[in-house]
Amino acid sequence: MSDQDSMDFNSGMAAFEAKHFSRAAQLLSPLAESGNDEAQYRLAIMYQNGLGVTRNEELAVKWMRAAAERGNALAQHGLGFMYLEGDCIAADAAQAAHWFRLAADQGLAGAQVTLSMLYAEGRGVPVDPAESRRWAELAGLDG
């Protein structure tokens, strides 16, 4: 990342955190286009929720998937929820489980908890109490 890109990224992240979403979108869009997964994830959130930009389900999925495919655990978790809830994309419990597992394998506790629930309920995966308990324990829950 060039010095200018680094400055734009830091400014874009600061704008996002300060809820200055229009400015964040301006700064983060070129970085997302160049493959920055953190910028892609933040843009996905903005498009998914209409923060500083018009809500756009197609762009929300595009950026969430791009970041998830680059290994961003929060984006993998986010894409899992999109599939689980049918938010911006057709509901698909098996796809949801796939993305939650990728995030859970990286140690993301929220994804581990959700994966535990999916195994307990048999949503997108077979009912498996032992696997449900294992993911709950990894997340730090009392199984």
Q: For residue range 46-64, what is the model confidence (pLDDT) as tens digits? A: 999 999 999 999 999 999 9
Taking 70 as the threshold, does the pLDDT of residue 1 lie above it? no
Taking 50 as the threshold, does the pLDDT of residue 140 lie above it? yes
Q: What is the token pair recorded at 9? A: 């990224």
Taking 70 as the threshold, does the pLDDT of residue 25 lie above it? yes
- Beta-carbon contacts of 6 under 8 Å, excluding residues fewer than 6 positions away, are none
Helix (H, G, I), strand (E, B) or coil at 109: helix
Alpha helices in 34-139 (DSSP H): 37-49, 57-69, 73-85, 93-105, 109-121, 129-138
Statement: 73-143 belongs to CATH 3.50.50.60: no
Average confidence (pLDDT) over 10-23:
94
Question: Are the C-beta atoms of residues 114 and 98 closer than 8 Å to each other?
Answer: no
